[in-house]
Amino acid sequence: MGSSFFTPLSWNDSGFILTGVLNTVTISLVAIIIGTLLGLAIGFIRAEVSRFSNMLLGGVLDVLRSVPLIIQLILFSTYIGAIGHPLDPFVSGSIVLSLYTMAFMSEVFRGGFESVQRSMITAGRSLGMSYWQTVAYIRLPIGLRTVFPSWLGVALSVIKDSALVSVIGYMELLRTSEQLISRTQQPLEILIGVGLFYFIISYPLSLYGKYVERKMSI
């Protein structure tokens, strides 16, 4: 076997893999947090404004959802480089992934806000609540309650999609594993490890999401 030309996988690589794991977790968390906040704001606006402005806003979000993430990442980092302000892969990756997350989150929250009956808000107003009080005490608590399973679904897909940030050079888990593969030539062991990592994060959370959904439907 020619495999003696390559150094096999050893414990010394664990630090390298751990960096990849941490980077994946970091960029996913950043994108989920920023994407949720932006999505919450935009979802609220979309449930609130007129049909026309809604269409404009919806069009922009639609582009974010209809162009593959990988193309968005390449376009953004190339554009930033071409106008002379190259950014760190982590920063450009976070920006693109957050906006991408936002596009999906805003739909989730919009649905939540629209599920709050108009009459409840009218009732709140007639009881002397201000506009923002109806938001804080009626729309947010009632609107957000039902969207948790869908929110979790989007968040989980962001963790999985964060693997794509590797194309612009961010050393997340899949890219570290790819480099290890090219050195060790042991693709199967490494990839199974990587798959297990994603699975261990994603599977319990998806079960929890299903559990909550079932509990809410009864």
Q: Which residues bind another protein (CB under 8 A)?
A: 63, 66-72, 74-75, 78-79, 82-84, 156, 160-161, 163-164, 166-167, 174, 178, 181, 186-188, 191-192, 194-195, 198-199, 202-203, 206
Contact 104, 37 (CB under 8 A): no
Give CA–CA dist 218/216, Å, rounded. 5
Nearer to another protein by Cβ, of 138 and 155: the residue is: 155
The angle subtended at Cα 169 by Cα 78 and Cα 180, nearest 5°, is: 155
What separation in angstroms does the CA of 129 have from each of 16, 116, 118, 141, 145? Answer: 55, 16, 14, 15, 21
Nearer to another protein by Cβ, of 120 and 196: the residue is: 196
In the structure encoding, which two tokens stand for residue 21, read together? Answer: 């794991």
Give CA–CA dist 94/90, Å, rounded. 6
Nearer to another protein by Cβ, of 21 and 140: the residue is: 21
> Residue 168 CB, nearest distance to another protein (Å)?
12
> Residue 153 CB, nearest distance to another protein (Å)?
10
> Residue 202 CB, nearest distance to another protein (Å)?
4
> Residue 177 CB, nearest distance to another protein (Å)?
8
